[in-house]
Structure formats: structure tokens, C-alpha cells
Structure 1
Amino acid sequence: MHTAHTDSYYAASLNLPLAYPTLEENLDVDVCIVGAGITGAAAALTLAEKGYRVAVLEANRVGWGASGRNGGQMIFGYACEQSKLTRMVGLETSRALWDISIEAMTLMRRRIHDHGIDCDLADGHLHAAVKPRHMQELEAWAEDLIRNFGYQGLQLWDRQRLRRQLASDAYLGGLYDPNSGHVHPLNYTLGLVKAAAQAGAVFFEQSPVTRIERGATPVAHAPGGQVRCRQLLLCGNAYLQHLVPEIERKLMPVGTYITATEPLGRERAEALIANNMAVADLNFVLDYFRLSADHRLLFGGRVSYSRLDPPNLAAAMGRRLRTVFPQLAGVHQQYTWGGYVGITLNRAPHFGRLERNIYYAQGFSGHGLALTGMAGSLMAEAVAGDAERFDLFGRIPHRDFPGGRLLRTPALVLAMAWYRLRDLL
């Protein structure tokens, strides 16, 4: 168990230092939530506003996991392509799921506004093409979203138009969405936690749930006490730590990494990304980047399937960064950090119930900044008796990772090696 945030740019620039006690008593509440990231905080906020008695148990600090250390990119849709979702669940359900993903971004903006969350919200996101095949994929993607899902505003940029906004020769073009955007994810998460606490939810830090009892009144056990509840929400995603094996088998924690440069100054930063959009390329092992509010470049990429950080991580991240922006040679990288993304085999989110009164939401597969907040709201809707939208996600078929806990990582490494080879072709 850890007691401090990871040594990241986000932790160094957090603007809302929150601290909550460790659970040292036995409580009886309406709803117990495991995990104080965006999903747990959003569920707590929605339920507390409805008058439910809510307790949230966090193993480390609020916002400690993926919610507080991710790339900060707020993007439409899901980690799997919408066309893939359509093949899995049919067009009608796929449209309903698409609408939820767009509502997730609207909801995120509304919460930031309504609760005065200071998190450097900025508009605009680009999916960038590294090779001609990617441009063809982007054209087909845009056509599908416009024709079948009525999504307006997408712009296909050729290389010349992209070059006016992005000072890199690494890309052939891209798909720009003015409705997507980016934020400081830790400050956003902490703002949600504060709003939920003000609405009446009770948070406990350094209170890992070691065991759950199922039944009519589930009980979450922590080292210092326990919480008995009517409904239990599991919101730990890749950090649930073997608490529930039957959903753990559907999830693979994958390490992913970000480096932050020293402040570049406004002029130099704006020369890199003129319109301040966030960018992600289309490789399976992708690069993604954006500017921070204080004019740093935050550059993400690399993955690890071994649960060990790659050697010489900062240097490796710096090489990737300079491949995209060679003009940053010699710029100091002030922070480099990582965390786990919970991916599913099909890259679609995995929501459902263990029992009538135990819900879970996981497997955002690196595409969760907006969707996690929506997941919390959908879980709260289900607790309040309207599970229709939450249960839509139950129509998505999910398979276990092959090989069990010991062998699934080597099997995944072999599979990912194939996709990485495909990136290079």
C-alpha cells in the first residue's frame, strides 16, 4: 500500500490537496464504493446528491490510480472502433452506446462547470495517421460516424492542413474533433471527490478492501474496519488486486508511461501545437501528447505487459518524443511516470453485476477519462432502480484472457508483438 501520489507532473501541480481518514470503525450505509478514482467519485457524487448514505474506500490516496496519472485526453467513443461494437451488439445497441459516450463528454464539461473544478479544460483532439493505411481507416471511420451515428463536426485534415497546426513531419494527416479535448486529470478527479464529499459522501484513504462478503447486505472488509451496505460498487479497475477473480480474468493490467518536459514558454509551446489540441496516433502501441497549461509537452507511449517498468524509461520516452518533435532535442524532461491501464480482450468496456446488488465497471482500455465519469453515473442510476442504460453494456460479449493468472501475460506479450510488428509495416 502506498501513501503518496506517484512522482508525476500532475502530482507536482495538483491544486486541491485532499486528505481523508483511514477506516477505523464498522459502518452501515446504503452504498459502499471500492475505489476513489473518477468512476467511484462520480458514482458517489450522483448517489449522495440523491440522498443515499455513501462510503468510499480507497486503498491509497483519492485519485491515486489511473484517474490521476493518465494522458488527460477526453475522446469520443470507445477504445475499440465503433464499427467493431456494431458487429458485436448490432447497430441499434451500438448507437445507444455511442450516444452514451458523447453524453459522457457533455457530462464531464457540465461537472467541471457546475462544481468549479479547476482542471485546465481545453477543446480539440486529433487522431493522427502515421501511414497511408491509417488515412484510409480514418476516412472510413469518419464516414461511419457521420452516416450511422449522426456525429457532426469531424474534420479530415490532409498533411498540409495538419502541418499548419502541428509542427511535426511524422504524420500524413488526421481526423480532428472539436468536441473532444483534454484536462489535468488529477485535478479533475480531486474536484469530483471534493464535490462528492460536499454532497455528503464519506471517503476513507489507505483503506484497502481485502475481502467482500456477498449476500443481501454485502460487507467490504478493510484492515481497520468494515462497511456493511445494501449495494456495493467495484470501481477499482486495474487496481482491484485479485479481489474478485471472476472479473479479474476479463482484465489485463498494462503499464503505460508519460514524460513531461520542462516549461517551454508560451511561444515555443504554441509553435508546436498551434490550436492546443490533444493528439494520439493510430498505431496499436500508440504515441499521444498534448500541452499543459504551463506550456510543457506531455508525451505518452510505450507499454509494459510484465508489471515491471522498462529500463531507462525516461531516455526511451525522450527518444520517442524527439522522433515526433526533433526540434526539442536538448529539452529537459522533468517528470516521467507510469501506471496501469485495464484492457479487455476486445478493448470494449466491461460493466456488469456479480450479484443483484454488486456492480462493477472496468476495462476502459485506455479510453476512460470521460467514460469513467459516465460509468459512475450509470451505476448510480442502476442503484436507484433504473438499470436500462447500465445493462446495455452487458450486451457486449467478453472472454477471459487465455492462460489464467500465470500464463496470460506471456500469451499477451506474444499477441502484442504481432500488433507491434504490424505498426512497423
Structure 2
Amino acid sequence: MTAYVDTYYKRTLSSDAAYPALSGRHDVDVCIVGGGLAGLTTALELARRGHAVTVAEARRVAWGASGRNGGFVSPGWAARADQIRRLVGIDHAKALFRLSMEGVSMVVEAIRDLGIADANVRAGILRVSRYENEAALKIQRDEQEAEFGRKLRLLSRDEVRSLLVSKKYHEGLLDEGSFHFHPLNYARALAREIVRLGGSVHEDTPIVSADLASAEKRLRTPAGEVRARTVVLAGGGYTDSIAPSLRRSFLPIATYVVLSELAPELIAGAIRTQAGVSDGRRAGDYYRVVDGMLLWGGRITTRTTDPRDIAAVIRHEMVTTYPQLEGLKVEAAWSGLMAYARHLMPLIGPVMPNVWSCTAFGGHGLNTTAIGARVVAEAISGDSDRYRLFEPFGFLWNGGPFGTAAVQLTYWAYQGMDFLREWRSARA
């Protein structure tokens, strides 16, 4: 059985019970390829609608980005709001944001209805600015309340620095309706519910070949075969070659996370809030206190760098932000692949008859995987056509090696712009 990568989440799993690899022939209504949050939620939504479903996961449930991310759950998409508005218009953009809010509600409801106590929910996401930004934050707060009824609290620089003892930070917006949690325990609870409803989940079950063009889809695994009317592709950054057209529509991007040693008193001298924290930079950091340790994420690359190498870079960022944490040691470091489309929106919709994509949630996946899965399940069941809200973004070619280079150059450009804004603010 494939082992989970050594992360904070793996170390604090409530149960490591395994699901059997698929063997023999299985006939189902829908086969979901990929057992991350997108695939599991799709399967759960379909099972609740009476469909016979099976999930084929190449490694373990939530083995990839779904089970080793920052754990932040809040509305929004990876693409910035102004970028979405420019492409689809104001009303369409508002509809998409409401979908993202529904995704947050879905996670909240699942934790409540399934009694997922080991999700370890902690309220609050604090988004802080590393440069003077009060006017823009006031506009954002007021727009969010007027249009969507969200209550965001604007914190002054003094208020921010009373919670985060760092000269790097200026103003911030505190969203007490958002939260952070244990995504791996959450994902495994979804898998248990799928099985309880009569569906099946199979780990260590890669799809080695597939006939997706026929009316009856046939997907072969090392020890068996699945035959289904409908297939959902939800492999994220680990999607392989069974659907080449989809694979060419996104890039796998690596992100990195470190976990500090246990040092509650030292950390409390710098971070005096239980809210998750992220800064306003496009190439920014996110972090939160977990069980007296500091979980800190950031950085993306277009290649899978050894986490031991990147840990030093992230630790430097941590200590630059909080010099009082100079003596804090890194206990563990890990990376994971996310899927990013060029437009930074998910790839949701049909890729061929009765073959659906539900992937590319990189950068903002914990709410968007939920709602993306729901609209795909609604479409398969004939309940709605809300998936069409994603049609304007399309399945664009990722650019191949040129796309990879463009992503890295864009990230470096964002870092440069972030640095320039901070420098100007410091001189003002």
C-alpha cells in the first residue's frame, strides 16, 4: 500500500485504514478518476443522487495536493476578481463568486452533517498587506458586504501588529466566517461516506489504459476493469495521459510547506492569533499555528524541487518576517503538485460525450473543489447546467515548455512587483 508523504496531516491522521485495490470487472454508472477532494466530492454528490459510483485513486485518498495543503477554506478563486470581471463581465463574475461561497458552505455542512470532529476547524482567516493599503481594503470590505453580505473586519496597522508582531505588515482584513482545518481527515471522512452510501473507493488503482470514445467507457487497471456510462477526470496535478486533450490544458505546479518544531511559547511571541494568515502578495505566504507548531507555506515552481532545498528558502522568509523566530527549527518539509490552467480558473465541463473534467483547482482548492464537484454532479444527473458558468474560460493549450517558462517568469514578475510595492511603502 502506498504510504502518505510525511506531512503534519499524515502525522495527525485519525485513521490510516486502507481501501482495496480494484480487481475484476466493475460495472457502474460513473467512474471517477482521482481520489482527491474534487473526485471524492463528485462521487459523494452523485451517490446521494442515487448513482452507482466508483472512485479509482492511483495512490491513496487525498494523497496529492488535497491532503497536504495549507488547509484554508474561504470564498474566491485562484484568478483575481478583476481578471474574472474583465473576461466575463460583472454579473457573471458575481455569480461565480456566489458559487465559491456555496463551496465554503458545502465544506461547513459536510463537517457538521458527517460529524467530522477530527477536521479540527479553527475560525478566521486574516489577510494582511505588506504595504500601505487601507483605502483599497476599505473598498473591498464595503463591496463584499453590500453585494454578498459578508462581514469582513478592517484592522488598522496597530491592530494587525498586536496580533502579528512583525514590522512587515500594515493593514488587514479579518474574515471570521472563513476557517482553516485538517484537509486529509476531512477527505477521508468523505470517502467513508461514499462507501456507506453504496459506492466504492479503490486505492493503489491507477488507470493504465482507457477507451473513452465508446458509449460504454472502459477503464483498465493493473488487476481489473471498470465499465461505466460516464467518467469524471479529477486527477489534479497528477493527471496522466489517459485524456491527452485535458492534460494539455493545464500545468502541474509545485508548492511547498514546512512545519516547525514544537515551540508554543516562542511562536506565541510572534503570532498571537489562532486565525490562519496570508499576505496580500500574489507570490505570498500563508501560515497558521497547529498544535504549538507553525505550518508555513509559500513559493511555487514549475519543477519539483527537493523539499529539503526549498525549506531553507521558506524558513528565510519566515525569519525575515519574524526575526524573533530565528531559533525556530524546521521539523518537516514537503511539496505537492497543483494543476493550474492558464486562466487560473478550474477546468469544469465535458471534454467529450459523457466524459467530464473536474480539475485545475490550484491555488484556491478547498472551496472550489466542492462546488466544482457539485455542478458536475448536477450536470450528469440533469439537475442543472450551472457548469456553463465556466465555459468562457475554456480548455486552452497550456503552452507546453513555453507555458512552463511563462508561468515561472510570471511568478518572478509578481515577486518583483510585490517587492517594489513594499519598498515604496517603506519609503513613504
TM-score, with structure 2 as normaliser: 0.92
Alpha-carbon spacing, 1:138–1:213, altered in 2? closer, same or farther (3 Å) = farther
Conserved 8 A contact 2:39-2:358: no
Query: Deviations for 1:308-361, whole angstroms, at most 9, x for unmatched residues?
Result: 336622222211111222222212211111101211222222211112311111
Q: Aligned with 1:41: secondary structure?
A: helix
* 1:161 equivalent in alignment to 2:159: yes
Conserved 8 A contact 2:129-2:280: yes
Kindly state the Cα deviation for residue 85 of structure 1 after the two structures are TM-superposed. 1.5
Q: Aligned with 1:26: secondary structure?
A: strand
Alignment RMSD, CA only?
1.9
Q: Using the alignment, how far apart are the partners of 2:300 and 2:135 within structure 1? A: 26
Q: Aligned with 1:364: secondary structure?
A: coil
* 1:388 equivalent in alignment to 2:391: no
Q: 1:417 aligns with which of 385, 388, 412?
A: 412
Unaligned runs of 5+ in 2: 421-428
Residues matched between the structures, number? 418
Kindly state the Cα deviation for residue 32 of structure 1 after the two structures are TM-superposed. 0.3
Conserved 8 A contact 1:72-1:182: yes
Q: 1:203 aligns with which of 194, 201, 204?
A: 201
Conserved 8 A contact 2:194-2:201: no
Q: Using the alignment, how far apart are the partners of 1:247 and 1:136 within structure 2? A: 41
Q: Using the alignment, how far apart are the partners of 1:416 and 1:271 within structure 2? A: 32
Query: Deviations for 1:128-168, whole angstroms, at most 9, x for unmatched residues?
Result: 11123x55543443344334x33320122221111222222
1:210-221 equivalences under 5 Å are 210-214=208-212, 215-221=214-220
Q: Aligned with 1:339: secondary structure?
A: strand
Conserved 8 A contact 2:270-2:324: no
The amino acid across from 2:216 in the alignment is T
Q: Using the alignment, how far apart are the partners of 2:130 and 2:343 within structure 1? A: 23
Q: 1:192 aligns with which of 190, 193, 210?
A: 190
Unaligned runs of 5+ in 1: none
Conserved 8 A contact 2:38-2:359: no
Kindly state the Cα deviation for residue 108 of structure 1 after the two structures are TM-superposed. 0.4
The corresponding residue for 1:319 is 316
The corresponding residue for 2:42 is 43
Conserved 8 A contact 2:307-2:333: no
The corresponding residue for 2:361 is 364
Q: Using the alignment, how far apart are the partners of 2:362 and 2:131 within structure 1? A: 23
Alpha-carbon spacing, 1:102–1:311, altered in 2? closer, same or farther (3 Å) = same
Kindly state the Cα deviation for residue 268 of structure 1 after the two structures are TM-superposed. 4.8
* 1:152 equivalent in alignment to 2:150: yes
* 1:248 equivalent in alignment to 2:242: no
Conserved 8 A contact 1:88-1:397: no
The amino acid across from 2:221 in the alignment is A
Q: 2:334 aligns with which of 337, 346, 352?
A: 337
The corresponding residue for 2:173 is 175
Query: Deviations for 1:214-252, whole angstroms, at most 9, x for unmatched residues?
Result: 221212222221111011111111111233222222211
Conserved 8 A contact 2:266-2:325: no
Alpha-carbon spacing, 1:387–1:246, altered in 2? closer, same or farther (3 Å) = farther
Q: Using the alignment, how far apart are the partners of 2:353 and 2:174 within structure 1? A: 42
Identity %: 34
Q: Using the alignment, how far apart are the partners of 2:270 and 2:196 within structure 1? A: 40
1:24-423 equivalences under 5 Å are 24-117=23-116, 118-132=118-132, 134-135=133-134, 137-147=136-146, 149-214=147-212, 215-265=214-264, 268-292=266-290, 294-309=291-306, 312-397=309-394, 399-402=396-399, 404=400, 406-423=401-418
Kindly state the Cα deviation for residue 274 of structure 1 after the two structures are TM-superposed. 3.1
Q: Aligned with 1:227: secondary structure?
A: strand
Conserved 8 A contact 1:270-1:276: no
Conserved 8 A contact 1:255-1:309: no
Q: Using the alignment, how far apart are the partners of 2:389 and 2:10 within structure 1? A: 36
Q: Aligned with 2:348: secondary structure?
A: strand
Conserved 8 A contact 1:83-1:144: no
Alpha-carbon spacing, 1:84–1:411, altered in 2? closer, same or farther (3 Å) = closer
The amino acid across from 2:415 in the alignment is R
Kindly state the Cα deviation for residue 206 of structure 1 after the two structures are TM-superposed. 0.9
Conserved 8 A contact 2:144-2:151: no
